[in-house]
Structure formats: structure tokens, C-alpha cells
Structure 1
Amino acid sequence: MNDNTTDTYSGASPSPLTQRPLAERQFRTHDGESLFYRHWPATGPARRGAIVLFHRGHEHGARMAHLVDELDLPDFDVFAWDARGHGRSPGQRGYSPSFGTSVRDVQTFVQHIVGAHGVAEHDIHVIAQSVGAVLVATWAHDYAPKVRGLTLASPAFKVKLYVPFARPGLALMHKLRGLFFVNSYVKAKFLTHDPARIASYESDPLITRPIAVNILLGLYEAADRVVADANAITLPVQLLISGADWVVHHKPQHQFFERLGSAVKTKTVLSGFFHDTLGEKDRAPAVQAIREFVLRLFDEAPAPVDRRGAHLEGETAEESRALAAPLPALSPRGLYWSLTRAGLRFGGGLSEGVKLGHDTGFDSGSTLDYVYRNVAQGKGALGRAIDRNYLEAIGWRGIRQRKIHVEELLRIAMERLAEMHREVRLMDIAAGHGRYVLDAVLASPVKASSILLRDYSEINVRDGRALIAEKGLEDVAQFVQADAFDRMSLASVTPRPTLAVVSGLYELFPDNEMVRRSLAGVGDAVEDGGYLVYTGQPWHPQLEMIARALTSHRQGEAWVMRRRTQVEMDQLVEEAGFRKIDQRSDEWGIFTVSLARRTEH
């Protein structure tokens, strides 16, 4: 069972909406909330897999319960949650701390099903509708789960807001007023033609009509990102589109489908259907299509899409090459970025952080350590104001969240090693100044027997050794100059590490062959059953600004990054002999941190 979850059994009884027995349960999320869910066990002679249902906005899991019988899949368990702030789950109605929090709830729920109910992740098929479909699509993009497939019904990638400029207006009001709630304008008769569904919607006391403005805005932001970068999703996907939808726009749904990186994908436009696709009056053809898709995937599981060669061809390779190509100096974009660089040079004369970026590279260990400290410095009030604005850039906020996640997963790995009565021998192959490693060690109740920090930069080694002394860890920690891409150097490390970390390194190099060589060395070094914490960057909203205006640590070259999708990063790590067991992602989907375990040779 996942350490962050609990399973509370509250009895089994026939469900009023299905013929199957129903168990009502709870699971504990990453932040301690206990969310409600329903479980209908398989009734066939042997369980074949599981179906997980995610309801649309304003509703709850019971409103999808009719699918349990209608799908006619007796060999499958069926699960349906009530999202945070909905149905019988706790929390202010229609509220979640953030859209990213709800996406992580999806991850935690699936982990709970795997751990508490013994269903393998690859034996899970997900069916989600409307807002639930956007949550699931974002989860598939950011976390790269290995479920069997996804069925997305009328995903709410773009809600029809009939008031002009509603979205920027809501954003401005949110900034000025803080949290407030927006009531749904949608009447039940515009959701479905089914009189029974209309009546039950209007009388259901668990329907949640308000939605928190932060969730509505977060829904839009996540949907824009996922539709634009749908190629990162490689799972089999079935998309159902309601042809007469009053609630959401069709165009982003079609764009999402066209951009999907899935080898297996199907799209069906259901003529005349309103938004409640799976609750429409004549839904039998849609339900039958889902059943056939599920059985097809379970009869013969398709091979996963191999992304290990994505540095040679594909969207991220093309994107990276385009960013590396110089712009004509007198073109509008060329002039724009020339002015931006000039502004940064001016800022570097006042802001300590901008100056450090110009001196050592904006991707250097020195810059990252400055960003971690997050203390604005500069010449006078103006310099400090410029520096504060620089430190609050979304990329640097993501970097600081990445540090928190790295430290969290390092501590989890250390505790797991202690539970197995194994020594914690920690190695960071490109530590920068090593601050996140040393902070994690000091915050853990588990004592490390050895800490080896490595980095290629003489400056980082010098400053990292000073930091070791400042933290009082000279007795267990050492810092050496070494190449993170030298397989033999990594493989010959003694004593052999039981926990390795590579943070913020591979994101700086587009070539997967270099990364494979490095990971192979880490795989050679780490003992069987040991752990690896690794980072990824599947998305970044400021790629062009970074490439056109910032310089890297490599002798002042432009800082051009090639994004790696989470699927690609996980496949490279798996090839080196590790299996991912946990993951974190920031609120914006920029940086991920994963924990993997070394499998036996």
C-alpha cells in the first residue's frame, strides 16, 4: 500500500444504481485529506483488470454508477471517486487548493488502487468526463502513468464563457479580490436529453454548482498546456465528442486528438449529444464503443511508444533546433530579443542575480544556489526590486519547488533504506553546490553513512566544500571534481551508493546518448534495491525567452533547452535498470522529480 493512503471499509451493499455489491471507502491524499470513493468488485470468476471513473465538474462518482452495469464488464473491478470538494468528499464545495493539487489527487488515487486493491497499474483503464477528463489528460501528460488506456468524454479543454473577456476579467478579479466562487450557468436540460438524468440532477443535494475561481483559471491553463503538448501523451486514447455540446468548445478537442503521440487512438463524434456524453438518453452506442475499446486493449496490449530517440526526431527535437537557429537581426522578433538582451544587461548592472547569471551562466550551479536562497540583492531599492522580479520568474519558482520535491523524495528513500536496515550511502553526480542534498540529509532522522558530491565545475566544487563545512558534515561528506557523463568513473565509485540523485543536469543537454551513458554508469554504481532520484522538464512556458536572451555556463553560449517528456525520461531511466515508484510535479507542470528503485541485475 502507498504510504500516503489509508483504506477505510464502510460495508458492502447492493447499489441502487447497479446490480453489483458496492463498498464505500476512503483514501488519504498527499496532504492528509481523506477522499471518498466507491468500489464495485468484479463478479466474474477471475478479475481481469479495473475501470476507474472520474466524474465531470459539479458532480460526484454516483452519477457515473450506471456505467458499472451498462459497460457489462463483469471481470473488472470498478472504482469511482468523489473529487475533493465534491459529493461525499470533504472540503469547501467546488474548491481545491489548486488544479495541480487535484491532478496529484488522481495520481494518489491510482496509487491507492494499486497498493490497497492489488490491481497492477497496467491493468487499469480510466474513463473520465468533462473537467474530470482534463484532470486525467493533465495527469497523463505530467506523470506518464502506465495504465492500459484512457477514455475521455467531452473534455472541458475550453469552457464556453458567454460573457466577453470573461477569462481575463476573472483573472484580474482573482488578483484583486482573492478567492471567490463562480456559479454554474448550465441548466440540466442543456446537459442531457434524458428526463431521468435531468430530474436527478436538479434534485441531487450533492451537486456542487459553485466552482472556485482558482480552479476555473487553473483548468484553462492546464488545458491550454495539455492541448498544445498532447504529443507527450503516448497512452492509448479514446476520445468521445458530443456533437451538440452547449458547455465546451469542440476545436481544442480535435486539436488534442490530432497532436496525441499515441500509437492507438480513436475519435468518435456523437451527433446530437449534449455535454453529459455518458449520461445522454441514447448513450448505448457510446457505452458500447467504450466496452469494445477496453476489451481490445486487454485482449492484446499495444506496445508502448518508444521515445528514447526523441533527440533525433519529433516535436521536442524540432522545437530545440528552431530555438537554436539565429533570427535575422532586423526582423521584428530579432529586434525584440535584442532589446530584451539589452534590458537584461542593464538589469545586470543593478541586480545581483542577473549579474551572477551573466558571469557564470543562468544555468550554473552558482545561479541555482542563488535562486534557492531567494534573497533579493542589488544596488539600492531599484536593484533589489529588479532582483525580486527576477527571482519571481515562473521558471525560478519552479526550480525552488523542484528543490523541495528533491529533498522530500531523498528523505523518503533514506527512510526506506533504514527500514530495510541498509546503509544510506548517497551520491549526487552533478551537485552544483550540493545545497539540496545537504539540506535533505540534515532534515532527515536517518543518518547517512557517506555522502559523495560530484561536479565538473571547479567553482561548484570549491563552494560546495565550503557549504559542507558550513553545515558541519565534514565527517561524512566529500566533494570531488568529476564528469557526470563518464560511465566508468561513475561505475567505479566506492563505496557503492545505495541512493543516487541527478537533479537539473539532463535538462541542460539535448542528446539522449549522453544521458544514456550517464544513467548506465549510475545503474552500474547503485546497489540492487537502491534508489535513484531524478528530475525532468517536460514543459516550460519561457523556452524562447531563455534561448534568445539568457546564456548558459558553457562559455557564454545561448541557453537552448530541449524538453524531455516524462515518458521519454522514464524510459531512459528504466533502460538503466531502475523502475519508477513515485513522482512529484510542480503546479505549472514545468519540473518533475521522480523516485526509482534499482532492479536486480
Structure 2
Amino acid sequence: MNRRLKNVHWATMRLLLGSVGRLSEGIGIGYRHGFDSGSMLDYVYVNQARGRLGVGRLIDRVYLNAIGWRAIRARRELLKDILRQEITDRAGAIGEPDTSGAAGAVGAVGPTGAAGAEAESGARGAAEPTDPRSSEPGSAGPEPIGNETIGAETVRTENSRSHRQGGSLGRAVPAGSAGRPGPTGPRGSRSAGRARPVAILDVASGPGRYLQDVVEEFASGTVRVECRDLDRAGLAQGERRARERGLTGITYSPGDALDPRPGDPAPDVIVVSGLYELLLDDSVIAASIARLRNMLAPGGVLVFTTQTRHPQLEFIAHVLPNRDGALWVMKCRSVEQAERWATDAGFTRVASRRESVGLFTVTTARN
């Protein structure tokens, strides 16, 4: 297809999506807030087709089944598995199941609680476009990368040696068992082996739906999560949802992921999910990873995501608007590049795992 025909093709697709496509609830959210926004991701996570005039729901189901959104949901599940394992390892042995109700539910999260008064109106993804420095994670069965098998194919990366080193996040775990709570896992009472909760910081969390799911699985006091984002609407959305779920182990506050303030206490785990995929300048990502390493508590781990490929990259770049109203241009990187950022920043144990759809990897980096 020559250049002129391609331009006509993309213009036609923009016209159709911006008119008939808006009968789909999801596509409508994309045009209102940006297809890369926290609102959009939150809708994708719920994965319930909605639309107008009957045909709108059908369009919405096709939209939600797009490979990119399926991979986003798979990425979220892999992240949850990794965090469950990290919390369980750090919190020590867990006793009998908690029978006191929803874990972490000791009252409600107020709009001016630990998140700070500023977070009263803050949260990504609910009512207004978000900043490019904001993002949130996404399904089943994480697949290891390195000297491990992905389906029938073996993939080797330059840091595959890390899979043979210690640390639960550096080990490849069979799908369905990685970080899965066992009889002594989440929803139990904490042992006395740890003086404080496991501290997790997500620097570009949006509403943090997946983080709330993780907090809810553990006994009160086991884990404390801080969600930061530049989009106050998304933060407010997450805070309202946490209050409705009765969760007090999670707080929300405004923050710039690329210029983060130190955590108090220093976080055991820092998460960066769905942000680096939106940045086109590799040097900005490298600087971010180095900065976050200095914020970790001793023995802490950085968890970040990378998009390694996307078959609809050209379509997205010519048709879908981002949160700023410009066309949504993304840049894919190899897992080798992602791991090199981590080792260049000073991390010595680096490992990556691919979500089941195969578009994203989740890299864990520790000293």
C-alpha cells in the first residue's frame, strides 16, 4: 500500500472509530480520557463489555478482546503473582487463616488519611486525562525468560544467569504456581518475625485496582502500599474504591514518577508498571531506574514492565489518541535492553518473566 492509500486508510479508520466506535463504552472512554489513560486501563481490567444500541456492546467486546488489552490483563496477573511472593517471603511464616473479615480492613480510607490532604481529589483514570508519567498495570500463567522454555521455544537473555542465583523473584516458577498463596500464604495472621509491614511503592499507580486486590489477600498489618500518580482524578477513584472495600493498608498521594520523593520508610518494593512503555527516550528510563534504586530499602527490589512487541503498533500510532490528544506512539524494547538498564544502574540480580500473551515482560532487579 503506497503512502497516499495508507493515509486514506488511517483517516477512514479514525472516522469510523470516532463515530460508530463510540457506541462502545471502552472506545468512548478512550476518546474522552486517552487510550493510554488510567481510566482506560481500569476499564480494560474489569473486562465487562458495555455499549449502546446493542451493537455497542458487541463492538466493546471485540475491542476488549484486542491482543494489546489481553496482554495488559496478563501483565497485571503476573505482577500480582510477583508481589504476593515478595510479600510472603518478606513477612515470614503466616499462621492460620484470618477469620476476622477482609484482610487489611480496619475502618475506611479517608480522603485526607495517610495519602495526605492533597490526594482528596487525586487519582488516575476516573474523570480527566492523565499525564504521560502516569500508568497502571496487567493474565494468567507467567512464563519465565532466560534459560527457560516459553512454549516450545527457549529464549536466552544476557542476564539469564540471574535465574540460577538466589532470591525468589529471580527463579523461574511454573505457570500457576508463581507466588500463588498456599496454606501458609495470604489471609493469615502475621508472625512476629517482622517488625513492620512490607512497604510497597507504586510510583505511577493510577487507581491501583490490582494493588488493592493484593492488599486484601493479606492479614491486616502485613503489607502497606503507597500509590502515587500525577493524575488526581485516578487517585481519588482508587481512594474511593479502597474505602468501599474497607482497606486501610493502601494510601494515595500525588507524585511524579520521574522525580519521586523518598518513601518513609524506604520501600522494600518499588513498582513501575505501564510507564516505561509510554516513554520514547531511553535515557529517561535509565535515569529513572538508577534513581529508584537509591530509594529502595536495603535488600529491596525494583519491579518494572517493558513492552517487547505489539502487532498493532502502526494502527495505534495512526488512529488512537493518547491522554494529551496526540496520536499514541509507543516504543518497544527487548528484554535484553530492559535488563541492561537495571545492571547499568547497579543491580546485580536481574531476572525477567513474560506474561502469557507475549507482549510484555516484568523485570525484577535487586542488589
TM-score scaled by structure 2? 0.68
Note the C-alpha offset of 1:586.
Answer: 2.7
Alignment of 1:348-427 (within 5 A): 348-419=21-92, 421=194, 423-427=197-201
| 1:536 equivalenced with 2:309 (yes/no) | no
User: Which shows bigger deviation, 415-424 or 448-457?
Assistant: 415-424
Local SS of the residue matching 1:427: strand
What is the alpha-carbon distance in structure 2 between the residues aligned to residue 471 and residue 480 of structure 1?
Answer: 18
| 1:431 equivalenced with 2:200 (yes/no) | no
AA in 2 matched with 1:583: S
RMSD: 1.9
- Aligned CA distance change for structure 1 residues 446 and 537 (closer, same or farther; 3 Å): farther
Residues 280-303 of structure 1 show CA distances to partners (whole Å, capped at 9, x for unaligned) of xxxxxxxxxxxxxxxxxxxxxxxx
AA in 2 matched with 1:498: D
Note the C-alpha offset of 1:364.
Answer: 0.5
Note the C-alpha offset of 1:572.
Answer: 1.0
Local SS of the residue matching 1:596: strand
What is the alpha-carbon distance in structure 2 between the residues aligned to residue 565 and residue 446 of structure 1?
Answer: 39
What is the alpha-carbon distance in structure 2 between the residues aligned to residue 335 and residue 574 of structure 1?
Answer: 45
Note the C-alpha offset of 1:579.
Answer: 4.0
- Aligned CA distance change for structure 1 residues 446 and 573 (closer, same or farther; 3 Å): farther
Q: Percent identity?
A: 38
Alignment of 1:90-101 (within 5 A): none
Verify the 8 A CA contact 2:10 2:318 in the aligned structure 1: yes
Local SS of the residue matching 1:570: helix
Verify the 8 A CA contact 2:87 2:223 in the aligned structure 1: no
- Which structure has the highest helix share of the two? 1
Report the structure number with the largest CA radius of gyration: 1
Name the structure, 1 or 2, with higher relative contact order (CA <8 Å, separation 6+). 2
What is the alpha-carbon distance in structure 2 between the residues aligned to residue 471 and residue 575 of structure 1?
Answer: 41
What is the alpha-carbon distance in structure 2 between the residues aligned to residue 504 and residue 575 of structure 1?
Answer: 21
TM-score scaled by structure 1? 0.42
Alignment of 1:192-591 (within 5 A): 331-419=4-92, 421=194, 423-444=197-218, 447-473=221-247, 475-486=248-259, 489-490=260-261, 492-553=262-323, 555-591=324-360
What is the alpha-carbon distance in structure 2 between the residues aligned to residue 540 and residue 448 of structure 1?
Answer: 37
Note the C-alpha offset of 1:445.
Answer: 5.8
Name the structure 2 match of 1:151. Answer: none
What is the alpha-carbon distance in structure 2 between the residues aligned to residue 585 and residue 446 of structure 1?
Answer: 31
What is the alpha-carbon distance in structure 1 between the residues aligned to residue 350 and residue 340 of structure 2?
Answer: 13
What is the alpha-carbon distance in structure 2 between the residues aligned to residue 444 and residue 548 of structure 1?
Answer: 43
What is the alpha-carbon distance in structure 2 between the residues aligned to residue 348 and residue 476 of structure 1?
Answer: 39
Name the structure 2 match of 1:119. Answer: none
What is the alpha-carbon distance in structure 2 between the residues aligned to residue 346 and residue 497 of structure 1?
Answer: 46
Verify the 8 A CA contact 1:425 1:448 in the aligned structure 2: no
Local SS of the residue matching 1:336: helix
Local SS of the residue matching 1:349: helix
Verify the 8 A CA contact 1:403 1:436 in the aligned structure 2: yes
Q: Structure 1 regions of 5+ residues with no counterpart?
A: 1-326
Q: Structure 2 regions of 5+ residues with no counterpart?
A: 93-192
User: Which shows bigger deviation, 410-419 or 381-390?
Assistant: 410-419
Verify the 8 A CA contact 1:363 1:552 in the aligned structure 2: yes
AA in 2 matched with 1:380: L
Local SS of the residue matching 1:409: helix
Verify the 8 A CA contact 1:536 1:591 in the aligned structure 2: yes
Note the C-alpha offset of 1:446.
Answer: 8.3
Verify the 8 A CA contact 2:21 2:59 in the aligned structure 1: no
What is the alpha-carbon distance in structure 2 between the residues aligned to residue 412 and residue 582 of structure 1?
Answer: 15
